[in-house]
Copies of this chain bind each other. A is one copy, B any other.
Amino acid sequence: RPPPAIGGTKSISHYQLNGLQSTWRSFESHERVLILTPIARFYDEYWNNLINLNYPHELIELGFILPRGREANSALLRLEEAVKRLQTGPKKNRFAKVTILRQDFDSPFSQSEKDRHALSGQKERRAAMARARNSLFTTTINAGISWILWLDADIVESPNTLVQDLAAHNKPIIVANCYQRYVDHGENKIRAYDFNSWQDSDTAAQMAKDMGDDDVIFEGYAEMATYRTLMAYQYVAGNDAHEEVQLDGVGATALLVKAEVHRDGAMFPSFPFYHLIESEGFAKMAKRLGYQSYGLPNYLVYHYNE
């Protein structure tokens, strides 16, 4: 359905927020989806998957946010070119709207995978990501949007039914399992990549209790063993891709959120919120607002491998 305007001239718009649905029938009920991507590097594979999404493009709006800096400048050029080509091409492929935002602060860190993942820089790096995500969604959500799909720019493999597949679960927040391909002695293999989707543990809860107010628990670091149940390790090859698990923390590489969750105020904390920040803190804040997060351990998307 189109946004449920209940009247209005050009400068006056009326919307019934309760007329807005986000349901498992997203596709048939013409629900509008806003796909949001913080982007520091441009990958053709990401872009191709985006334009191959078979959710009706006229129901999709795109929003991008880029950091400042030289590397991002070149990503911006490639993004602009790709957007222009698409939006001036065949009508049926065009998206309803594209917004490109440029951050008012630099990316605090180098974009190499090793540097990105050093524990020492996590707090500052993920705080910057949180601010970028908040600027992006607050600036682009409008009254017609039913769903937000957070999709990272370095997800280089994802099904063209991604939107419908995730929306079919009809959950306020649902995340795919983010893996990575690699080559081991000439053999193609896959491994877990994103460790931000997890169920809490007593150990982590105890760690949080013993921490200073501003300390943050990061997942996936041996120096900080949390014994949380990681969705990354719950994948079983061949099992039902639609099996659901409840989560207490989520990653944002491929994350579908009902718009009402963000509208109610769920954001990505850039400060320690229950000792969590960014997407993990988002899940906790959403929980405080009454929304449960879910994950699909057997539904894989793949992260770029440098």
Contact = CB atoms under 8 A, between A and B. Distances in A.
Interface of A: 6-7, 9, 11-18, 20, 68, 80, 83-84, 87-88, 94-105, 130-131, 134-135, 137-143, 260, 262-265, 267-271, 288-289
A137 B138 contact: yes
Contact of A139 (B100, B102, B142): B142
Contacts of A141: 138-139
Given A262-B138, A265-B268, A12 B289 contact: no
A17 B18 CA distance: 31
Contacts of A99: 12-15, 143
A99 B7 CA distance: 11
Contacts of A97: 11, 13
Contacts of A140: 143
A143 B269 CA distance: 21
A267 B270 contact: no
Contacts of A20: 104
Contacts of A6: 102
B96 A134 contact: no
Give the secondary structure class of A's interface.
mixed
B134 A18 contact: no
Contacts of A271: 288-289
27 contacts: A9-B84, A11-B94, A11-B96, A11-B97, A12-B99, A12-B100, A13-B98, A13-B99, A14-B101, A15-B139, A16-B101, A17-B135, A17-B139, A18-B68, A18-B104, A20-B104, A99-B143, A101-B143, A104-B260, A130-B265, A134-B264, A135-B263, A138-B141, A139-B142, A265-B267, A265-B270, A271-B289
Copy count, this protein chain: 2
A137 B264 CA distance: 10
A131 B289 CA distance: 9
B12 A83 contact: yes
B18 A84 contact: no
Contacts of A289: 270-271
A187 B96 CA distance: 61
B15 A100 contact: yes
Nearest to A65: B17
Contacts of A260: 104
Contacts of A130: 265
Nearest to A143: B139
B95 A134 contact: no
Contact of A264 (B11, B87, B131, B142): B131
Contacts of A100: 12-15
A139 B267 contact: no
A16 B67 CA distance: 10
Contacts of A104: 16-18, 20, 260
A293 to B, nearest CB: 16
A105 B265 CA distance: 15
